Structure 1
Amino acid sequence: MLPLQIGSFTPKAPVVLAPMAGVTNRAFRAMCRSYGDELVYVNEMVMSHAVVYRNDKTLTMMQFGDDESPRSLQIYGSDPDMLGRAVHQVCDEGRVDHVDLNFGCPAAKVTRKGGGAAVPAKPKLLQQIVRRAVQAAEPYGVPVTAKFRMGLWDDLRTDITTGRICADEGIGWIALHARTVEQHYSGEARWEAIGALKEAVTDIPVLGNGDIWEASDAVAMMAQTDCDGVVIGRGCLGRPWLFGDLITVLNGGEAPAPRRLGEVAEAMRRHARLLTDHYAGFGGEEHAMRDFRKHCAWYLSGYPVGPDVRRTLAQVSSLAQLDDVLGAFDPDAEIVEGGERIKRGHTNGPIKVALPEGYLDDPDELAIPDDADVMALSGG
């Protein structure tokens, strides 16, 4: 197994938090780090144009805790020059210790502009984007990694080619979400694709992503595919303690029993307060609580709290109201059987893949997709 490293930093276990739009902000990462420190926690993705032009929303998103190390940021874009400028900027300003490139986002508003998961369908463009990013980061000693999907659909697989291009251009490690864009988040992740990528790319670490809901799933994925580590996405939604479990299990220990409802309630209180601090100055408590509503559903997935409680928390508007609702919980209540494996976050798919007009007419074409109105996508 190849070791994961960011400069001189070696994580306690080969585990990375997947950047998730609207989720992996400073508050969420702080929650995860409180259970499992010294791992790699990646900030939600930002767009290269928005970084270069110093979009206010994007600058707000690019926040790290004073004690957060390493500082990992994911950037996406379809213009090699702009992406290189963005990487240079965040490195030159000392904002980051690690840059991850997004070639896997399936959102229509991203792929329709030729970004995210659309990029690997044009290998020459992909190569130029990766090359410019690595060159921009190299003088600062900042490693660049990449995350991508299997391809646009089953008849247009790009994962092996993408992995080889990334390795040839100096990427530090690659991560594969074992679904196509068309599959979106439906069905099961196809771990065999991770194994095939590991066989094809042997000189840099290959990480697997998809359907890791419990620590035992990471052990199973690594055993089945020989991958060098795991990337955790939806599995940590409402389960920030998963990272502590992963450190324990991947270092030979036994995973703790599922948390009782009292522990969950305490985690919810802490998370809500961290979000309130995060949004201080741009929305404060009211904005934080609106954001926290989705987390309430994830935290309580599988717990016997009843529909009335869930409806109340879906409209929670203050920390005081949250405390009142959580205070009525039975702290000894346990999760229902199989509750840890209830899917949280996106579950939709298959989808129709959105691409720029004529995008696939000439896959070898180096022409850069039209990024008109691209600033509207900041933080998407």
Structure 2
Amino acid sequence: MATVPPPALAPLSIGPVYVGFPVVQAALSGYSDCPMRVIARRLGASYTLCEVMLDQFLLSLKGRQRTSHFLYLTDEEHPVAGQLMGAEPEQFAAASTKLVEAGFDVIDINFGCPVKKVLGRCRGGFHLGQPDVALEVIQRTRDATPAHIPVTVKMRRGIDDSAEARDNFFTILEGAFARGVAAVTVHGRTVKQRYIGPSNWNFLREVKQFLGDRIVLGSGDLFSAADCLEMMRQTGVDGVTVARGAIGNPWIFSQARALAAGLPLPDPPSLFEQREIIAEHYSLAEELYGVDRCAVGMRKFGIKYSALHPDFEQVRPDWGKMHGREDLQAVFAKWYSEDRPGQHPDPAIHRGQGECGA
């Protein structure tokens, strides 16, 4: 998609937290752990969000080695947000305290997840259908969070396309800022849509016009650097959160920075450049999860990274068979030993495949 940089791409701040370049990495359940966030930061993301965590899970967390990665942060990640999801307002408050103690700079409330099992437990996007409960969640979370830590909310544009859903959305939106929320992220699909059909960017423009100077981040259908700038240009939102488009393609952030500076779109990373970052990602995961545990978790990342390889269809299955560092080296030897040009990933690979928080 051809794009024209916004006339004034202002740096982003969320309350007292300075972010800078307004293209950031979204929270992604099962993906946006510390290694993914660090790689994104090193390649140009100014701000990242941790994968969504259940309030009940956080309150029961005992610091065991197998679960310690959920609250693991590094110095180079800041600013970084922790994202909360749950059903009961009082548990949000206690869980927010746990995230603050862990060192997160921003607390984000998830009212957007459209996954069926989440909705069935009255979590995520379910709250968009009950404004009173949603606003109580926000109030309790804001009250329990220190004043210097911003609280933000992630929303979809409603449960569905009904007039009632629209009214509920704007009731929660206005009430959120009245209760001290510093910013909202709005995804342009409804909860009912999940990840099917296009994201409604016109609705994002309407939300930004409605809120004026208050901070709005946009989400939905951001699969390239050009998409990120085009959303800001079309809608006027203050920033964008890249979700599925960042999995296996952290270069999207440096590419967006180049376009925003008026430079041509950089070439996709070559196979040697890809190999270097994948190896770096694997080492970070190995350090966090241990030698025996990291490989299985890295399979899904390898599969996503393979979309940048010119022989994607042939490379992808080998990533799915990885059991350890020897298999990593075997994939490198077979598919990344010659420094060939890479390719920009096909957005069709991601469309229809959702990760909660996206």
User: Shared fold (TM-score greater than 0.5)?
Assistant: yes
Task: Answer yes or no: is 1:341 the counterpart of 2:346.
Answer: yes
Q: Give the TM-score, by structure 2 length.
A: 0.88
- Unaligned 5+ residue runs, structure 1? 350-378
Q: What's the secondary structure of 1:73's corresponding residue?
A: strand
**1:310 CA drift (Å):** 2.6
Given residue 110 of structure 1, which amino acid in structure 2 is its aligned partner? V
Cα 1:308/1:89, change in 2 over 3 Å? closer
- Give 1:293's aligned residue: 299
- Report the counterpart of residue 361 of structure 1 in structure 2: none
Paired residue secondary structure (1:5)? strand
Q: Distance in 1 between matches of 2:229 and 2:74?
A: 30
8 Å CA contact 1:51, 1:59 repeated in 2: no
Q: Distance in 1 between matches of 2:84 and 2:67?
A: 11
In the TM superposition, what is the alpha-carbon distance from 1:11 to its structure 2 partner? 2.2
Alignment of 1:95-244 (within 5 A): 95-139=103-147, 141-155=148-162, 156-157=165-166, 158-244=168-254
CA contact (8 A) 1:160 1:200 kept: no
Question: Structure 2 vs 1, CA of residues 221 and 343 (structure 1 numbering), >3 Å: closer, same or farther?
Answer: same
C-alpha distance 195-174 of structure 1, shift in aligned 2 (>3 A): same
User: Deviation string for 1:302-322 (max 9, x for gaps)?
Assistant: 533264533222111111221
8 A contact 1:261–1:332 mirrored in 2: yes
Structure 2 distance, partners of 1:221, 1:99, is 24
Say which SS state the counterpart of residue 228 (structure 2) adopts: helix
Deviations 1:247-286 (A, max 9, x none): 3333444331111222112221111111111102xxxx33
2:50 to 43, 48, 56: 43
Amino acid at match of 2:159: L
User: Is the CA contact 1:152–1:180 (under 8 Å) kept in the aligned structure 2?
Assistant: yes
Which stretch of structure 1 is more off in the superposition, 294-303 or 244-253? 244-253
- Following the alignment from structure 2 to structure 1, what is the Cα–Cα distance between the partners of residues 161 and 312? 41
Secondary structure in 1 matching 2:76: coil
Percentage identity across paired residues of the two chains: 28
Q: How does 1:358-373 map to 2 (within 5 A)?
A: none
Partner of 2:87: 78
Cα distance in 1, alignment partners of residues 106 and 323 from structure 2? 36
Q: TM-score, normalised by structure 1?
A: 0.83
Distance 1:123 1:182, change over 3 A: same
User: Take 2:178 and 2:27, find their aligned partners in 1: how far apart are those partners?
Assistant: 24
Whether 2:265 is the aligned partner of 1:255: answer: yes
Q: Residues of 1 paired with 2:16 and 2:171: CA distance?
A: 29
Moved more, 50-59 or 315-324: 50-59
Q: Distance in 1 between matches of 2:42 and 2:117?
A: 34
Q: Structure 1, residues 8-60: CA drift from partner, whole Å, max 9, x if none? A: 542231122110011000010111111115x1111111111222232556553
Q: Contact conserved, 1:25 with 1:44, CA < 8 A, in 2?
A: yes
Q: 1:288 to 1:249 in 2, by over 3 A?
A: same
CA RMSD of aligned residues (A): 2.3
Question: Would you say how many aligned residue pairs link Structure 1 and Structure 2?
Answer: 341
